[in-house]
Amino acid sequence: MNWILTIVTFLPLVGVLAMYFASGVGTFNMLELEQAGIPLEVQRWAFPVVFMGFAILGGIFPLHSWAPVPGAASYEIQIDNDKSFPTPYIDSGITTNTFYTPKKYIVPMHYYWRVIPIDGSGNKGLASAVFEYDATA
């Protein structure tokens, strides 16, 4: 499922290249592209593509990813504002992916997250190291 991350990584590039070719000015200078008068049809699809790509890459929507754990069939991700995870603020349940974007709104604060691998029999392994980040408004 890491192919999804690869696609997301290329979204901003696709949108910027569309603006470059549609403008006809032969530059990536955003100020000149703005003045070039890019056709509305291109703007309607290029803007969402660029926005969503940078939103995920830039952290508007936090994207948590990790390396696959040998023997793991699925993963549980926990996100909390307390690094001891007494009652995780967000608990994704089970995912078979090696990435996760919270479905619950993340209020601006400092967060900690970790991943717990689960084997094919449902046995939980050791939790990963604890990672942290700041969600800002």
**What pTM did the predictor assign?**
0.57
Spans of all domains in the chain? 2-57, 64-135
Q: What pLDDT sits at residue 122?
A: 95
Q: What is the pLDDT of residues 12-70, one digit of tens each?
A: 888 888 888 998 888 888 788 888 888 888 888 888 888 877 766 665 556 688 989 99
Number of Cβ within 10 Å of residue 101's Cβ equals: 14
pLDDT mean over 113-123: 95
Three-state SS letters, 43-98: HHHHHHHHHHHHHHHCCCCCCEECCCCCCCCEEEEEEECCCCCCCCCEECCCECCC
Percent of the chain with pLDDT over 90: 25
Query: CATH homologous superfamily for 64-135?
Result: Immunoglobulins (2.60.40.10)
Q: Take residue 118 and report the two structure tokens written for it.
A: 């689960």
